[in-house]
Structure 1
Amino acid sequence: MADTDTAPSPPGPLVSGSEIARLAGVTRAAVSNWRRRYEDFPQPAGGGAGSPLFVLEAVRAWLEKQDKGQEISGEVRLWQSLRAAYGEEMVTGLDALARHLAGGETAGSLPAEAVRLAGELTAGHSPEDAPGASAGSPPSALLTHLVRRLTDSARRSGSDQVTSERVVRAVRHFAGPVADDATVFDPACGIGTLLLSVGAADATEPAAGPAAESAAGPEQGTGASPGGSRRRGRTLGPQRDPDQDPSQEQEPGQDPNQEQGPRRIGQESDPPSASLARLRAELLGRTDVLVATGDSLRADEWPKLRADLVVCDPPAGAGDWGRESLLLDSRWEFGTPPRAEGELAWLQHAYAHTTPGGRLIMVMPASVAYRKAGRRIRAELVRRGLLTQIVALPAGVAASHSLPVHLWQLRRPRAPGDSMASVRLVDLTANDPDGTLEPAPAQVTDVPLIDLLDDSVDLTPGRHTTASHRDYGAEYAKLRGRLAEQLTRLGTLLPDLAEGPGPGSLDGSMVSVAELARAGLVEYGGPQPVSVSDQLDTDYLRGFLHSTANVRRSTSASGTYRADGRGARVPQLDIGEQRRYGQVFRALQEFEEVVRAVSELSRETASLARDGLGNGALSPRTPPVS
């Protein structure tokens, strides 16, 4: 019988570095140090180079051997059991667990160990129990803790279904309180974290992570205004069945804003993520949440919906967002987005679902603020006065990378003339990602619309906050003083040279650099040769290499310059004369360096002077009265 090549299955559950840190009660940095310091630390059994996975039993044995372990909680054992069964598909695993917790239905693919542990952890509670009952842990609390582990696991990196805790915190902060009778919509809701967390002072979804604000309500962010039209006396609709087609819940074209409309509505293209979002809401007792499954851009399940607050953390860098089939779509109110500007397609889709007076908060990559392809759409948003604020969040806020991300905030006018005259730009990039979200005075500026409508329409906050808080007078005086110092220095650097015997007087006795190299007097350890003998001065050598004759020798017939200069020739002089020449060549090199610095400093000073005179920060000095 022929042998069949099959990949060996890992011997038991796998855990990531962050999970090992929880097991041992240390930081992830400590785990990284252990891997470097201890040769007997278990080797990775899965995952990638950036997110390795280790066999749980081997890790436990190593921790016990090193006396670094601690008792493992049932919640951790449940997570490890799910991780062993589902691997990188932990969203599917949590969805299966949530179904089991919500209805007690057949666990299906759930491991028997996971079913047992879930039962033990929720003993004394049923899905109908309200959160906060006395015995055991309610299913909603257990699922919430496991979702937090998901956001902190290797699976979160690059995931479009899991919004990082820091992003959720920032969106909640700048959204501020939202009225109880408002409608919140997330067209790319993933597993529902943003949809369930944002905008409610009495949010029943626990605040995400140790850095999140208290569930008693986030402090209102800069520029956030709890405006938007409100509908009174609305009856909340029932929760959508996870397997039911959205069209079966309402007639085609029916407006969800009518009396039966829900308060929180979402849509997600990934079926397990959408199902998990619905089940999270169900376990929290939120009967006012509807989540549809499907691609919001290609198949909008809520075409008539107009929400008071729209929040969205769209898929980043998705080139295939359906542009070819959506070229004539009516949602492109500010221009058809280019293929590479999928984020601006999501922005216009979200804005189309915003009611008059309502607000939109989008999580955007920083490059959307300045990319050339999106300039026309950015200009239209600014020109119409719809863009109210852009916040550059600190680096490290996003889960999948360390680059800054922006929050774009728009408001749909209630009537003609109800638009913004300026855009507030906030630069928090220098802040700690877990620190305050309130900007210092130098981190915020209100920029008139006309000042943003230049050739590039660059909306990067840092570019404008720096300019608005610039002390032109002090900066110009400093640059002018530095320039004067450098100009004075030039006169002292230029060597005093005497008249020589005449051109060609040194050509009689010459030696090539190639010969010097063969004799072991010269080495090439960098872009220029260096003397390794006390018979040859390095500055003398390099000075003659840059002479006109040697540059000509090092240049081919096609005009290509060979930087090594092996064909160059230098005069044969004694070491004393070499050092005299070398000293002068060294002074000339320093002179040229200062000339280049003066040139750059001159351009910088002149540019600052023009800007200051143009914006009124500087003015011509009044001549003294004689």
Structure 2
Amino acid sequence: MAHQTGSKRRVSVSEIAQLAGVGSSAVSNWRKRHADFPLPLAGNSVDLFELTEVTDWLSLHGKDVAPLDEHETLRRLWNSWIDGARSRDTGSPGHAALLFLQALFLREYRDRTSAALPLPESLWQRIVGSSEAHVRAAWDAAAVVASQNSSALHRALAVPAHVTGIELREAVQVVALAQIDPIRLPATVTSLLRDLAANNARFGPDAGTPAGIAELLIRLLEPIGGTVMDPAAGFGLALGQIAEHAAHRSDVRLLGQEINEVSWKLGVLHLNFYGSFVDIADGDSLRYDHFRGVLADRIILHPPLGVRFDANENLFDPRWQFGTTKTADWMWAQHLVHHLGERGRGIMVMAPGALAGSGRNADIRRGLLDADLIDAVIELPPGLLPGTAISVVLVIFARDRAARAGEVLFVDGRKLGLNRRGQLNEIADAEIARIADVVMAWHEGRNHEEPQFSATASVDEIRQHGAELRPQRFIRYGGQSTQVNRHVVLSDVRVLADSVASSLREIESSSPSIAEVNQLLQISWPADSRTLRIADLLRERPVTGTRHDPAGEHDAVPWIATGEVTGGAGVLTDVPEAFTRGRIKGRLARRGDLLLASRGIDRSARARCAKIDVPQEVAFSESLMLLSVNTDLIEPDYLRLVLTSSSGYEALAAATTGTTIGNLRADVLEEIEIAVPDMKTQRHVVAWFGRLEQASRDLQVAAQSSERFLAGLRDAVADGYLGITA
């Protein structure tokens, strides 16, 4: 993977980090602390090191050396370049990504053109060897050759005038570091652009369809062949995924249109990596239909959701067969069906709000239903799109519906998906297959109905409900009482009754008596009680929790969510089931430490502090603050009781900053003073409070068991298996 020149193979700091299995910051520390660390090679704008010198040094210092992975190294270079965008005149992440992708395209184009050049060197090597004053001229010459058959590609390769020769040469030097597997490169570029869309809110949820949703869209459109169109192409992510799926098909033609200039250029470059027949036009598809008159076999459409639209600009456009409206959702739907061929099928991403309501939107829905163009409606869970928490709706349109005329399939997938902390939620491969199987069964005339998941409804029934298309309107959610075994139901109810009785016995055995509580209240405080600052009671300064960091110290560590502290018991005894995803950087909590809610502190919180009683180190949410208690001075549980008291609430509220969200300030927290009795008294108080807290938890368990018992009785009555006699 390392770049090779002559007899020397060179590696960057990020590649050294990959070799050693550490973060880039660790490599920077080695360079400062170890005088024998290899020196960078001269003559490069980016620090590069000879590979053999680096591996020898790593071995000498007892550090394992891992093989360099081309895909991962390219991703590291990309992330480093994008992260530094704001410190360069390239400005936004989008412009930085474009410059990187332009250089990458020219680099990979060189081998296909060098044989036809009259020059002894390839165009790319001329760019790499150019000075800051001449690099733009070499770049422009290469761009002319690389785009000689495509005016769109020529525009996409043009470098903006504000980019300086220094920045252009820096981009070239960064891209020159990677030795790339050309077979994997197109899919890698798709992955990099997908990350760009997901991690930069300025592009919104419409710059690129996430991989899971794109995979589902493609599965629902199979078989894919002929002309495939994406009227809101973004970075070309969906079309790129189709190009990868249809790599063996010679009849696939990809068409797209994109309104954003930077996104359009990224999309043109991206899809040209695949070498597919592709035509990506620029401009607004609704206002200027570049592919007027083109009929597509398949259409995949993820437009901007819920935006306003002024149809007066092209009021008499033949696309608006079913009317116009002030929101664009159903205008996009009409654009899609207008371009469908005789046997064409298209799928569109919508917001749930577009499926219901009255007025012009309802009129357009009725028109599409009467024309028998709506084939299926699928609702997916929330959190799948970047920049928004709304759920996702997929609407399938089709021309050839003879076997399914007058009916629409509905699928409710809101309970599907994998919730991922701090990242987009995912829909699993098995869930994609489940939805695709239902739609395929529907198309093939096989059984496709599943209670609480899928059902069909007639167009007449849908019209009776105001042309509403929400799946939950037509899917049956009731239980199947005829399939319930009477003995099983009654057995379950008896088990619930035993659970209630057991919980009540636990309360009776664990609850202190009134006399014991009075004894606790009669504790006399010793005369030598002290008032100490919290800072005096800690081993270290308070720190907030973990943050995702590609160069962090830890990976896959058990992780405590904020809710486990703010809404749970005062002591955490079980190893968390959740784990950190990706590398994390921050403090790890150990047995005896306290975790304190550091954000959103208010007096209504049930519990805002918990003691760690877990046998191993755990990571914790960045909304929590770690207090490492000096157990020679104070019992952790005693400090927890003080901080969760009324006076503790008042003190913590005064230690926050911010208006809408209170953020606990460590420096103010350290100055809070509390009364600290001797250790014997502390342990006495903690022991009694522990019994009281356990009794309270037992009472909650009993209440939950009672609720389940009552729910079981209700179900038994509803199913006709339980009679009550006077």
TM-score scaled by structure 1? 0.49
Q: Bigger radius of gyration, 1 or 2? A: 1
More helix by share: 2
TM-score scaled by structure 2? 0.43
